[in-house]
Structure 1
Amino acid sequence: MLGPQEKNCPITHYRKSQNIVQDKRIWVTYKEGVYDITDFVIEHPGGDQILLAAGSSVEPFWMLYAVHNNPHVLQQLEALRIGNLSKQDSQHSLENMSDPYSSDPPRHAVLKPASVKPFNAETPPFLLVEQFITPNELFYVRNHLPVPQIDPETYELEVEVEGSNKTVLLTLDDLKKFPKHTITATIMCAGNRRSEMTKEKPVKGLNWGPAAVGNATWAGVRLRDVLKKSGINEDDKKWKHVQFEGVDFDPTGKTYGASIPFWKAIDKRGDVILAYEMNGSPIPRDHGFPIRVIVPGVVGARNVKWLGKITVSENESDSHWQQNDYKGFSPSTNWDTVDFSKSPAIQELPVISAICTPSANEVVKVQDGHILVKDLGYAWSGGGQKIVRVDVTVDGGNTWHIADLDCQDAAEPPQHWSWTLWSARIPIRSGIRNVEIWAKAVDSCYNTQPETFRNIWNLRGVLNNAYHRVPIKTQ
Structure 2
Amino acid sequence: MARLIVHGRAPYNAEPPLARLRAAFRTAAEDFYVRSHGDLPAIDAAAYRLRVAGGGAPLALSLDDLRARFPVVTVTATLQCAGNRRGDLRAVAPVTGDPWEAGAIGTADWTGVRLADVLRAAGAGEGGVNRDGSRDGSPDDRHVAFESRDTVHETGRPYGVSIPLAKALAPETVLAWAMNGAPLLPEHGFPLRAVVPGYAGVRSPKWLDAVTVQDRPSDNPIQAADYRLYPADVDPEGAAPALGLIIDGMPLNSAICEPARGAVLRPGPARLRGYAVCGDRPVARVDVSGDGGRSWVQARLEAGAPHAWTFWSADLDLPAGACELAVRAWDAAGQTQPASPEAVWNRKGYLNTAWHRVAVRVEA
What TM-score range do you get, normalising by the shorter chain? over 0.9
Match of 1:242 in 2: 144
- Count of matched residue pairs: 351
- Greater Cα offset, 281-290 or 245-254: 245-254
Matched, 1:354 2:354: no
Matched, 1:462 2:350: yes
SS at 1:293 equivalent: strand
CA distance in 2, matches of 1:355, 1:220: 32
Structure-2-length-normalised TM-score: 0.92
- Greater Cα offset, 330-339 or 219-228: 330-339
Identity between Structure 1 and Structure 2 (%):
40
Rg larger for: 1
Does the 8 Å CA contact 2:37/2:152 hold for their aligned counterparts? Answer: no
Which of the numbers 217, 226, 241 marks the counterpart of 1:316? 217
Cα 1:250/1:365, change in 2 over 3 Å: closer
| Letter of the 2:28 counterpart | P
Matched, 1:394 2:290: yes
CA distance in 2, matches of 1:260, 1:335: 22
| Letter of the 1:323 counterpart | A
Structure 1, unaligned runs of 5 or more: 1-107
Matched, 1:381 2:272: no
Cα 1:250/1:356, change in 2 over 3 Å: closer
- Greater Cα offset, 189-198 or 353-362: 353-362
Does the 8 Å CA contact 1:408/1:419 hold for their aligned counterparts? Answer: no
Structure 1 residue 167 displacement after superposition: 1.6
Matches within 5 A, 1:181-260: 181-235=73-127, 236-237=137-138, 239-249=141-151, 254-260=157-163
| Letter of the 2:329 counterpart | A
CA distance in 1, matches of 2:297, 2:125: 50
Does the 8 Å CA contact 1:191/1:464 hold for their aligned counterparts? Answer: yes
SS at 2:218 equivalent: coil
Q: Per residue, is there more helix in 1 or in 2?
A: 1
RMSD value, Cα? 1.8
Structure 1 residue 440 displacement after superposition: 0.5
| Letter of the 1:428 counterpart | L
Deviation track 1:193-240 (CA, whole Å, cap 9, x = no partner) reads 101101111011011111011110001000000011111222422652
CA distance in 1, matches of 2:238, 2:40: 34
CA distance in 1, matches of 2:335, 2:27: 26
Match of 1:441 in 2: 329
SS at 1:183 equivalent: strand
Structure 2, unaligned runs of 5 or more: 128-136
Does the 8 Å CA contact 1:408/1:418 hold for their aligned counterparts? Answer: no
Matched, 1:145 2:38: yes
Q: Per residue, is there more strand in 1 or in 2?
A: 2
Q: Name the structure, 1 or 2, with higher relative contact order (CA <8 Å, separation 6+).
A: 2
Structure 1 residue 109 displacement after superposition: 5.1
Structure-1-length-normalised TM-score: 0.71
Structure 1 residue 152 displacement after superposition: 0.9
Cα 1:120/1:336, change in 2 over 3 Å: closer
SS at 2:245 equivalent: coil
Deviation track 1:359-411 (CA, whole Å, cap 9, x = no partner) reads 112111233xx3233xx1111111x2111111111223222100111x332x4
Cα 1:371/1:221, change in 2 over 3 Å: same
Which of the numbers 244, 260, 263 marks the counterpart of 1:343? 244
Matched, 1:418 2:317: no
CA distance in 1, matches of 2:138, 2:91: 45
| Letter of the 1:181 counterpart | V
SS at 2:285 equivalent: strand
CA distance in 2, matches of 1:230, 1:427: 59
CA distance in 2, matches of 1:358, 1:290: 37
